[in-house]
């Protein structure tokens, strides 16, 4: 006669130290690996040559030219030229002249030189937003008319 045996229970594996071991391995590999400097390629922005926005713009548009290089820092708003340091006065003056003539400014076109820092572009953009000119088109690397 066969005597039924009790099924043996498998002992449970103690996993309480497992997270500690995983973090120790992770920390070990983070400390011992070295990062290699990749040869970064320069990103060249696409050029917008032969773009004639003046023929498409209407009198309600504001045209801003930004030129910032080591020789000169120039800002031209419509037909008024000045220094980048007084961009607020130039923009406010042109917008007020347009409002006096009964023209509401719909859009601003910003022609940006490749050497102009983005901080300058952001300052001009913020000034336009304060004047409630929210439609802004950016034209990069324009061909000068001189």
Instruction: Give CA angle at 87 (86, 90), nearest 5°.
Output: 90
CATH class of this structure's domain 61-140:
alpha beta
- The pLDDT tens digits of the residues spanning 44-82 come to 765 554 444 454 457 788 888 888 766 777 888 888 888
- The pLDDT tens digits of the residues spanning 87-124 come to 899 999 999 998 898 888 888 988 888 778 888 889 99
Is residue 91 within 8 Å of residue 127, measured between CB atoms? yes
Q: What is the pTM of this model?
A: 0.58
């Amino acid at each position: 006669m066969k005597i039924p045996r009790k099924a043996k229970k498998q002992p449970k594996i103690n996993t309480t130290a497992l997270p500690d071991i995983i973090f120790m391995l992770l920390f070990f590999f983070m400390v011992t690996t070295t990062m290699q400097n990749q040869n970064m390629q320069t990103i060249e922005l696409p050029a917008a040559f032969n773009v004639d926005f003046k023929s498409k713009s209407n009198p309600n548009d504001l045209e801003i030219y930004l030129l910032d290089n080591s020789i000169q820092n120039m800002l031209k708003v419509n037909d008024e030229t000045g220094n980048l340091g007084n961009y607020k006065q130039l923009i406010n003056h042109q917008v007020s002249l347009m409002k006096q003539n009964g023209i509401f400014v719909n859009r601003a076109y910003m022609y940006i030189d490749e050497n102009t820092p983005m901080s300058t572009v952001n300052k001009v953009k913020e000034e336009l937003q304060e004047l409630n000119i929210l439609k802004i088109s950016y034209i990069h690397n324009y061909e000068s008319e001189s």
